[in-house]
Amino acid sequence: MNRWFVRGLILVSATGLLPGMSLAQDGNVDQARDALAKQEGDKDSSRQLEEVFQAAEKNYSLQKKGTHSLNYSFDYSYTADQRLDLAITDGSVRNLDVVPSATHNFTNSFSYDYGFLDNLTVGARIPLVVKYDTEDELNLYDFGDISFTGRWQPFAYVPGKMSTTLFGTFTTKTGVSPYEIDITEQLSSGSGYYSLGGGLSLSKVLDPVVVFGSLSATYNLPAEDLQQVRGARLLQEVEPGFGISGSAGFAYSLSYDISLSISAQLSYSDETILTFSNGEQAMAQDQMTGFLSMSLGTRVSDTTIVNTSLGIGLTEDAPDFSLGVSLPINFSGLKE
């Protein structure tokens, strides 16, 4: 394989996945740097490609031991729906209200990663959320749910073989809880409960394409001691159940400066049980969510890659569409 083709594959693996998704696309950093070694007639192109690879390394491979990275991402999603407020007592409908909803969600996120070991990376993500509900004319500016992640590559990368990464996530409830607000006057920025998740991601180079996929599971801890008024009842406890998610896609390098990836994600959320102060329970049915995403990685300077993405909801429970942008933040104090 000539060096030009190898470099195209490196750029694919570095920019193939979408911002904000939990799967981790892995490549071998040492192998990449060997392939990028300067050769006769290359002039400064190898140095530029090395910097491009490092710019995208945060999202798609593990950090080298003792190194840091900081990334910024902006995501916008739009969801139009109708909320049903239904109360049934002794077989009779006591309260029924259908409320239209059209929500614009803007999320600014800062993600930090640290290479604890060559095959172990730990990190944190802090989201800042802005929401607008155009139907009820409500707005919100607040923190979202802060999350902590760990990624571990149990086996060294072998060219031509499948690359595997295990990952785990702990998500806090630092955002504004949807179960602790006046739902007619306020919006939420978080889930309202703690979550524990984990899974694995796989990737493989198939000339000239990189294919990748992931499978994960999430357990959501119950939210207790609530005092939220819902119609004529007082909500006291929420049991959100568990979730399962899978995704798969491929990436292709169009040139040194541009790469394209397409992926699909399918998620299942178990039923949620709401318990009220009078002993009654209400159940929100389980949900299946499908999402199709396309991402474009563009090198805008010698040291910066900007990843832009477009997502389209495939099921009723998914957002109608989403837009995203992510890029590294380079500080001298965070460099190796």
Phi, psi of 157 (to 5 degrees): -70, 135
Query: Residue 250, CB half-sphere, CA atoms under 13 Å: how many?
Result: 9
Q: Domains for the chain: give ranges and CATH numbers.
A: 3-334 (2.40.160.40)
CA dihedral 198, 74, 57, 144 (to 10 degrees): -30
Question: What letter would DSSP give residue 50?
Answer: H
**CA–CA separation, 111 and 106 (whole Å):** 16
Do residues 209 and 249 make contact, with C-beta atoms less than 8 angstroms apart?
no
Phi, psi of 5 (to 5 degrees): -70, -40
Could you write out the DSSP letters of every residue in 130-185? EEEETTTTEEEEEE---EEEEEE--S---TTS-EEEEEEEEE---SPPTTSS-TTT
**CA–CA separation, 85 and 96 (whole Å):** 6
pLDDT at 101: 67
Strand ranges, E, within the chain:
68-89, 92-117, 120-133, 138-143, 147-152, 163-171, 195-206, 209-220, 228-230, 233-239, 242-253, 258-269, 272-276, 281-284, 287-299, 305-313, 321-328
Do residues 99 and 85 make contact, with C-beta atoms less than 8 angstroms apart?
yes
Each residue of 126-182: pLDDT tens digit? Answer: 999 999 988 778 899 999 999 999 999 998 877 778 889 999 999 999 999 999 998
Do residues 19 and 264 make contact, with C-beta atoms less than 8 angstroms apart?
no
230: which 2 tokens? 């819902």
pLDDT at 88: 54
pLDDT at 7: 35
Place of tokens 């896609």: 249
pLDDT at 31: 40
- Full-model pTM: 0.75
Identify the segments of the chain with pLDDT beneath 50. 1-60, 93
pLDDT at 215: 96
Each residue of 226-263: pLDDT tens digit? Answer: 989 887 889 999 999 899 999 999 888 888 788 889 99
pLDDT at 305: 83
Question: What letter would DSSP give residue 194?
Answer: -
